[in-house]
Structure 1
């Protein structure tokens, strides 16, 4: 039985890759054969003639995945802009059939597969003769999501909007994880309380800045994954 989960965020640079790496590491540390996949990545670093997908490499390095990071991302762009624009600049448009093919390959290779989104939940992957949004990929892969959010000022607005947008599209939300959380910070503590109250979605985890492990019960973590 293989299981999957889509990990999105309230925006860029809130720590989505960092938390994803900790999730995969937690599973693997407990003997679960967990893997990683990302449909599209922009801002890859060029090494020789190859493009290194930084997010995938980071997750592999932290979690101990031995796969080549290039095998874990379907569309890799060097230009550090939104994937739809990078695809246009580099003349390499996203193709949903390739994403589905690669996801199917990896979901059977790994017992649990963490699929990381690009940017926030409203991220265009292709806008030309057709429009492909990140949410189209979530629905195509038939995955539930968790939302990574900041703990800081402004997160209530960003998180509530993200939750409401996902709900409007019929996407099932399994929980919210607050990143860079400080339990001694009254603002962070109140943000957690208000987010749960306003969204009706549980904050299932709080990750401290520079955390080395995910402080979450393994059963809670595995329960948010959906059979794929």
Structure 2
């Protein structure tokens, strides 16, 4: 992975240092199906409503359906676009799209077309030059394998290399204390900056959900910056606080 990242670095360094670049934020989750895509859509909607030029990006997307012509539809990107209302072209939102609902390393082993991190990085860098805020959504949890053949690339390798700050999406319910603590601890050991936790599927007044919030903040030292209930159309977070998460 180090040689591959060095190759990327040499290309990036050839670009003008005065070139306009967006601020970025990475959205990861404590696991699969905790609502990363939904929360990411709400974040982008908030930025769009604040008249910010905002974009979405995902390295690789699995578990997608085909249209009538047999083309794969990047489902998560489509959901984010529809929920947020951003005008970004769907084709610019994800570099690698797979049909099988497996992690990208396994889906590409079955379907072909493994992630070329240099191509993906170029597409991400293009977004940084065109927008003011770019929100990256992870695949699964933070350690998701993106490629595992002659090249071994994990999601956290790329996030750490690009030095992108993160927020963690977690389900508010049972088990989240353990999931949040382990995820935060791992990211800390990797030197990845966590700027906040977002609880999804919150039920107002639920004693366990409220206690989970307090325990997660106590164990990690990281604030729960937003609580989202099922079906919410907006995320309850201050606009300036949201912008400050991006670097």
TM-score, normalisation: structure 2? 0.89
Alignment of 1:4-153 (within 5 A): 4-47=24-67, 48-153=69-174
Deviations 1:40-66 (A, max 9, x none): 001111111311100000111111122
Query: Deviation at 1:139?
Result: 1.7
**Residues in 2 aligned to 1:166 and 1:60: alpha-carbon distance in whole angstroms:** 28
Residues 160, 190 of structure 2: 8 Å contact kept: no
Deviations 1:44-99 (A, max 9, x none): 11111311100000111111122332321011111111111001001111111011
**Residues in 1 aligned to 2:175 and 2:201: alpha-carbon distance in whole angstroms:** 14
**Residues in 2 aligned to 1:31 and 1:146: alpha-carbon distance in whole angstroms:** 22
Q: Alpha carbons of 1:49 and 1:67: their partners in 2 closer, same or farther (altered >3 Å)?
A: farther
Q: How many residues are paired up?
A: 226
**Residues in 2 aligned to 1:110 and 1:100: alpha-carbon distance in whole angstroms:** 15
Residues 202, 227 of structure 2: 8 Å contact kept: yes
**Residues in 1 aligned to 2:240 and 2:92: alpha-carbon distance in whole angstroms:** 29
Indicate the SS of the match to 1:50: coil
Residues 146, 153 of structure 2: 8 Å contact kept: yes
TM-score, normalisation: structure 1? 0.97
Residues 166, 172 of structure 1: 8 Å contact kept: yes
Deviations 1:121-142 (A, max 9, x none): 1100111112100001212322
RMSD over aligned CA atoms reads 0.9
Deviations 1:3-55 (A, max 9, x none): 11000000000000000000000000011111100000011111113111000
**Residues in 2 aligned to 1:165 and 1:74: alpha-carbon distance in whole angstroms:** 26
Query: Deviation at 1:180?
Result: 0.8
Query: Deviation at 1:183?
Result: 2.5
Superposed structure 1 runs of 4+ greater than 6 Å apart: none
**Residues in 1 aligned to 2:34 and 2:101: alpha-carbon distance in whole angstroms:** 17
2:217 paired residue number = 196
